Amino acid sequence: MQIRQLQVACDQVQDRLLLRISSQDDEEYRIWLTRRFLRELWPHLSRLAGKLAATPIVGEALADEAVNFDQAFSEENATFPLGSTPLLCSELKVDTLNDGTFNLTFREGRERCFQLAVNADLLQTLCAMLRAGAEHAQWNLALDGVQATSSTAPRSERLSRLH
């Protein structure tokens, strides 16, 4: 799947973060992340980011999967392969691929699941968006440990918008 856009939005009523992933094929996947789940997930994401940063070929591994920060999250013509109700993530499975990147499988109990292939840049983007979403939600989580990896754009430019 080629990713077109990512968005992390805070739902104050649900007290959850909504991760939205849009593909080049106009498919949209929605995943709820609770405060507790993000708190438990964060150390694992930090460890993965460290592994990816140490792998020299990872920066180019998924170069076709560019995330668009120049436009608002597009909802036109979207289809929802998992349904329009967001998956309530309670498990995350990590598989290491041959090129040193990872597949993250977000699972809702034993029901629906969504698999996302990540390279270093995409993981950095996802982590930055989750951190910003948690700060916006005022969850007071210590989400440290994920450092920027090499990129053509400075980190401040890449993370200036959340969609």
What is the pLDDT at residue 65?
42
* 98-109 per-position pLDDT tens digit: 887 889 999 998
Break the chain into its structural domains and give their ranges.
3-158
Class of domain 3-158: alpha beta
* 62-98 per-position pLDDT tens digit: 334 444 455 677 777 889 999 999 999 999 999 988 8
Kindly tell me if the per-residue pLDDT of 151 is higher than 70: no
Task: Please report the DSSP string for 49-99 in residue order.
Answer: HHHHHT-TTHHHHTTT-PPP-SSPPP-TT-B-TT-SSPEE--EEEEEE-TT
